[in-house]
Amino acid sequence: MKLAFKLAYRNLIGAGLRTWLNVIVLSFSFVVIIWLKGVMTGWDHQAKTDMTNWEIGGGQYWHEAYDPYDPFTLTESHAPLPAEFLPEVAAGEMEPVLITQGSIFPEGRMMQVIVRGINPEQTIFQLPTSVLDSATDAIPAIIGSMMAKTSRLKTGDYVTLRWRDANGTFDATDILICGIFNASVPAIDAGQVYIALDKLQEMMLLPGEATIVTFRSSNVPRQETAGWVLKTREELTRQVDEMIKTKSAGQSILYGILLLLAMLAIFDTQVLSIFRRQKEIGTYIALGYTRQQVVGLFTVEGSMHAVLAAFVAAAYGLPFLAWQAKAGWTMPVDTSEFGMAIAQTLYPVYSLGLVISTVAIVTVTTTIVSYLPSRKIARMNPTDALRGKLQ
């Protein structure tokens, strides 16, 4: 086997440009696959981190009637905080949020919004809630950049907010946009208006009540509480995993096409080698190789393309991948309208497992593709091969 590797190496290097063209195509597959998978992993990390920082913290308790996909549930989904939550709320380790429906009237148009009451002093989310404590002539509010774009509101704008209180009575007041934040989590931006929790409780006639309660740490063991449903961080980010899984499946087609191109080149080279090197095959047999050993030699030769490609990929791919991990990949289109937690710049995350599995898949595929045409050698007549007669 050692001899086969030695000979295969000599033959490959001796073949010159033909070898290097195949190796470069194959190395391109290595780098692109690792980079794309790295981008997906990076997106997964970024989406979960952003969701943690902006929306879900270490996990949440939802009022048992709350369904984020059904606004009608908002009327009923509120309750006083359970007594066991109060120490953590007081310590800032839990943040209650009251949620209700409302309408705003920017530039005379009516727009449905979700109004979220949040503690201005909270530190669990990255939301700039401290401005909600400002002393102004209207209720201070913050919105996300996506919401600002669709409503054409900007900092300093006044807008009328209408809502129904707990008794079903409509009421309205002006709110002042005190801040606009940038977040890559659409769920906390699109159609959302944030005001101070105590203000919303007062407006809703629901003092001390909340719809969801977010806790900071996901490491503290939590129990279900009557009337409240525990949602762990893993449950809340599961949709990201599902989305990444779907996207990854789509990307597999791209990997397949890349690999197919590289494998076509290898297959073609092998077929051409066997066609052109019949005399050489005959010579190997005359010198003492069995036909199976020649099959082995040609298979090793073909699969060694993958080994050389791994080195070539390392030479130009490592600096590229490292630079990408640092500088990130800025999406060419505005990601805020994608409707999913995706940052404008994605930072690929690579793992040793990713590199090893990619190299292993490409090498095994190359070996199989190299072996298939090489089987023809096993059926060759050595005396015809020696004469270079086509078989």
User: Which phi and psi (to 5°) does residue 231 adopt?
Assistant: -120, 110
Q: Which is nearer to another protein, 15 or 65 (CB)?
A: 15
List, as one string, the DSSP characters of 316-328: HHHHHHHHHHHH-
Dist CA 350 CA 358 (whole Å): 11
258's tokens: 């890349």
Query: Would you say 59 or 296 has its CB closer to another protein?
Result: 296
Smallest distance, another protein to C-beta of residue 240, A = 52
Cα R_g (the chain), whole angstroms: 31
Distances (CA, A) of 63 to 39, 129, 218, 235: 36, 23, 19, 16
| Closest to another protein by CB, 3 or 360 | 3
Binding residues for another protein, rule: CB under 8 A, are: 3, 6, 10-11, 13-15, 279-280, 282-283, 285-293, 382-383, 386, 388
In the complex, least distance from residue 256 CB atom to another protein, rounded to whole angstroms: 33
Smallest distance from another protein to CB 387, Å: 9
- For the bound state, the minimum distance from the C-beta of residue 291 to another protein, rounded and expressed in Å, comes to 7
Select 285 or 306, whichever has its Cβ closest to another protein.
Answer: 285
Q: Among 318, 312, 306, 320, which Cα is nearest to 359's?
A: 306
Min CB(363)–another protein separation in Å: 23
**Residue 289: CB minimum distance to another protein, A:** 6
d(CA 115, CA 191): 9
Contacts of 372 (CB under 8 A, 6+ apart): 267, 270
Nearer to another protein (CB atom), residue 120 or residue 382: 382
How many Cα neighbours within 13 Å face the side chain of 191? Answer: 15
Cα of 214 vs its chain's centroid, Å: 24
Question: Given the complex with another protein, which of 154 and 276 has the nearer CB atom?
Answer: 276
- Closer CB to another protein, 190 or 308, in the complex: 308
Q: How far is the CB of 272 from another protein (least distance, A)?
A: 15
Angle at CA 255, nearest 5°, toward 249 and 257? 115
- The string of DSSP codes covering 239-254 is HHHHHHHHHHHHHHHH
